[in-house]
Amino acid sequence: MTKESRRVLVTGATRGMGLEIARAFARAGERVVLNGREEATLEAHCAALRGEGFAAEALAADLSVDPEAVALRAGESLGGLDVVVHAASLRDRRRTEELDGAAFASLLDVNLTASYRLARAALPLLQRSQAGRLVFITSIAARIARAPDPAYTASKGGLEALTRSLAVEFGADNLTVNAIAPGWFVTDPNRALSEDPQVQSFVNVRIPLKRWGRPEELAPAALFLASPSASFVNGITLTVDGGMSAQM
């Protein structure tokens, strides 16, 4: 007996952690829509997955402009949604005196408000699923801070709180809402940092595993939270940081 493929939307899937999460779901036999802003890049990723025999399609759209449309278009394309993994976000590493109110509000609008709008549009579709799963990608910055990063830290803290709120509200619908908090992962925006010897010295002290994470190491956490094995896991933030936040 073969399992029925689930319908999965992954945002922020152009590269990095979002892409690896989307690949993991596709290779697990699910039908996956990859969302991001770069259509050609998304199409290339989907073509590669289809070449491996997996089901993947691209949905090029700017999530910050119309997050509701992303959820609805993905649901229409797949005939519904069973899993949404929201990995898209922005970062603006500026000191408080350099980050005015408009810039602060703009980042919160993308990282927090757009997340809420996406969830609000997706939740009715997930409610119709037999076991809907919503997974937000937050950050260890939601709980521990490193200057200068006030807007990103605030946005991820808010997203973690939103996770708990939605988990409480929608649990009665057999729908779970959880989050994953990555630590230091090698992605395109911080690749230069990961190759800096001084930064590596910091990593050696602060991260017990003494290395950066790889994007593919985050994907199993998303697969778990979306799986039947996690049917009683609701409202939690799963930290994946090599032990960084556990160490004094």
Which residue numbers are catalytic? Answer: 152
Decide the pairing of beta strands 237-240 and 176-182: parallel
Q: Which amino acid is at 6?
A: R
Burial grade of 105 (CB within 10 A; 0-12, 13-18, 19 or more):
exposed
Cα dihedral 80/157/96/11 (nearest 10): -20
Contacts (Cβ under 8 Å, ≥6 apart) of 47: none
Strand ranges, E, within 74-175: 83-86, 133-137
Residue 31 near residue 5, CB atoms below 8 Å: yes
The helix (run of H) or strand (run of E) holding residue 108 is: helix 101-108
CB atoms within 10 A of CB 226: 27
CA distance to 200, 204, 207, per residue, from 148 (Å): 19, 21, 20
**CB–CB of 68/120 below 8 Å?**
yes
Angle between helices 114-127 and 150-170 (to 10 degrees): 20
